[in-house]
Amino acid sequence: MSQTDTLKRTLTPIHLWAIAVGLVISGEYFGWNLGWGVAGTIGLLIATLVVTVMYIAFIFSYTELTTSIPHAGGAFAYAYRAMGPFGGLIAGYATLIDFLLATPAIAYALGSYMHFLYPVISVFQSAVAFNIVFIIINILGIKESAVFSVFITILAVAELLLFMGIIGPHFKMANYVTNPLPFGWAGIFAALPFAVWLYLGIEGVAMVAEEVKDPSKNIPKGYISGIVTLTILAIGVMVLTGGITDWHKLSSTASPLPDAIALVLGKTNTLTKAFAGIGLFGLVASFHGMVLASSRQVFAMARGGYLPRGLSAINHRFKTPHWALIAGGLVSFITLYIANKFAANPDNVINPVIVLSALGAIVMYLASMISLFVLRKKEPALPRPFNLPFYPAFPLIALVLSAVCLFAIMYFHLVVSSIFFGGMAAAVLIFVSMGRHKIQIQDDVLLQPAAVMINND
């Protein structure tokens, strides 16, 4: 790439907080409630507390990697540097599944909210329209995209606080603890992917590391403020919603928050309609962030030769990876089309896509924590601008809990897991047959230590 064709450093801590929270916040709007169907209220709460501990440990550990190697490929770059071509391939594949499939899941939820407001508009039409609009927004420039993220994320957070304020007075502990563990302790393990959905995506901040001003200082601020915000919102929304009525009524809907408001105030209430309308903000924030993060992952892997090189092209005018954005959009369109054609109800659309995305995230977390341990031993002199506290406890906690989540997902979702690992096996076979495992990638951004990159900003 020429000097004129590089990503532009414009992002500050407030932008990173908005991207971190925005990427994840749709998890508070839909998807998590499916965990009630397999675990009950207390079962999902226990699963969520376990996953919260995992994410806190993971984010602190991941911040060390992101500031040491501020590369748009995120886990792909860390695993490549630590474990070579196969490590990079597995981490990159998992990250692609994580973000590329979370995007159509959120698009479908957006379509469901629009259909709730305007029944004449189909879920599929809305989802496709949102895809097109946000591909265009992201092509127009990272600064413009980040400013939009700040605006829409603040609105989304404000709406969740308003939601909790509306339903809070109607909370009854008797409702919340009714049949709290319908499937026993096994249900807690079955609920883990839906608990992961409450935080899935925050790792996407790493994908914009090459576009951050002073990454060694600003990335930790963005990550830590983001995980604190999300923890408060996730626990608050989940607990309060479970106590307003018989939780079974909300355990399978694709739009649990407006449905919860409708139960409290009535479906024809003006505030119910208004809430469903502004409820789009949270989904839009996450959708926008997922489009941004997935495109950077495609861009980075294409630049490294793991995907067609043309996908690493950067638009001369806007300095954004336009072909990577379009490729991610095509994956989302295809997923939505298949879901729309073959699914009989929303559950059949959202559930397996969420599980697949969660599988990608968990495998990526495992690869990242292994990379951290390997790099600590392999490259002790690597500049580490963020001083990870409680090493090695934090990465070890994240590693062990991620492994527990992986085995639980595989046990309870065998078919979906087979698809995920079948795809991984196919990727490895193609990789080897093309001889890519014998070629060292020529990626100046990956090969430079953090201190050099920061001095070149």
Q: Express each pLDDT in 327-366 by its tens digit.
A: 988 988 888 888 777 665 544 556 788 888 889 999 999 9
Give the per-residue pLDDT at 7.
55
Give CA–CA dist 182/273, Å, rounded.
33
Q: Which residues contact 65 (CB under 8 A, 6 or more apart)?
A: 75, 78, 206, 368, 371, 372, 375
Average of pLDDT values for 308-315?
82
Q: 74-130: per-residue pLDDT in tens?
A: 888 899 999 988 999 999 999 989 888 888 888 888 887 787 778 888 888 888 888
CA angle, residues 340, 341, 344, in degrees to nearest 5: 75
Percent of the chain with pLDDT over 90: 27
Query: Is residue 443 classed as helix, strand or coil in its secondary structure?
Result: coil
How far is the C-alpha of 356 from the C-alpha of 32, rounded, in Å?
A: 14
Mean per-residue pLDDT, 148-157 = 83
Confidence of residue 450 (pLDDT cuts 50, 70, 90): very low
Q: Is the pLDDT of residue 438 over 70?
A: no
Contacts of 304-310 with CB under 8 Å at 24 or more apart are 304/73, 304/76, 304/80, 304/88, 304/441, 304/443, 304/446, 305/436, 305/439, 305/441, 306/76, 306/88, 306/89, 306/92, 306/431, 306/436, 306/441
pLDDT of residue 122: 83
**pLDDT at residue 395 greater than cutoff 80:** yes
Mean pLDDT of 214-222: 81
> Which is more confident, 443 or 311?
311
Q: 282 vs 99, which has greater pLDDT?
A: 99
CA dist 28 and 34 (Å) reads: 12
User: Residues 6 or more apart from 301 whose CB is under 8 A from it?
Assistant: 73, 76, 92, 96, 307
CB 271 within 8 A of CB 166: yes
CA atoms within 13 A on the CB side of 164: 16
- Among all chains, which residue has been given the structure tokens 């309060």? 240
Between 423 and 449, whose confidence is greater?
423
pTM of the model: 0.81
Residue 265 has pLDDT above 60, yes or no: yes
Question: Rounded distance, CA 64 to CA 389, Å?
Answer: 10
pLDDT, the chain, mean: 83
Give the Cα separation of 283 and 108 in Å (integer). 10
Q: Which two tokens stand for residue 189?
A: 């393990």
pLDDT confidence bin for 281, thresholds 50/70/90: confident
DSSP labels, 130-162: HHHHHHHHHHT-HHHHHHHHHHHHHHHHHHHHH
For the chain, percent of residues with pLDDT exceeding 70? 89
Give the per-residue pLDDT at 200. 84
Torsion 363-255-161-150 (CA) sign: positive
Residue 449: its pLDDT value, please? 47
Q: What pLDDT sits at residue 102?
A: 85
Report whether pLDDT(138) > 90. no
Name 137's Cβ contacts closer than 8 Å, sequence gap at least 6: 144, 145, 148, 288
454 falls in which pLDDT band (50, 70, 90)? very low
N residues, the chain: 457
280 pLDDT higher than 80: no
1, 303 contact by CB (below 8 A): yes
Phi-psi region at 164: left, alpha or beta (left = phi > 0; alpha = psi -120 to 50): alpha
| Residue keyed to tokens 């070890």 | 396
Domains of the chain plus CATH, in order, are 13-455 (1.20.1740.10)
359-388 pLDDT tens trace: 999 999 999 999 999 999 999 988 888 888
Of residues 276 and 167, more confidence is placed in 167
pLDDT at 452: 38
How much of the chain is in helix, strand and coil states, percent to nearest 5? 75, 0, 25
Residue 419 has a pLDDT of: 93
Tokens of 244: 């307003």
pLDDT in tens, 156-213: 898 899 889 988 999 999 999 988 899 888 899 999 988 988 998 888 777 777 777 8
Distance CA 280, CA 133 (A): 14
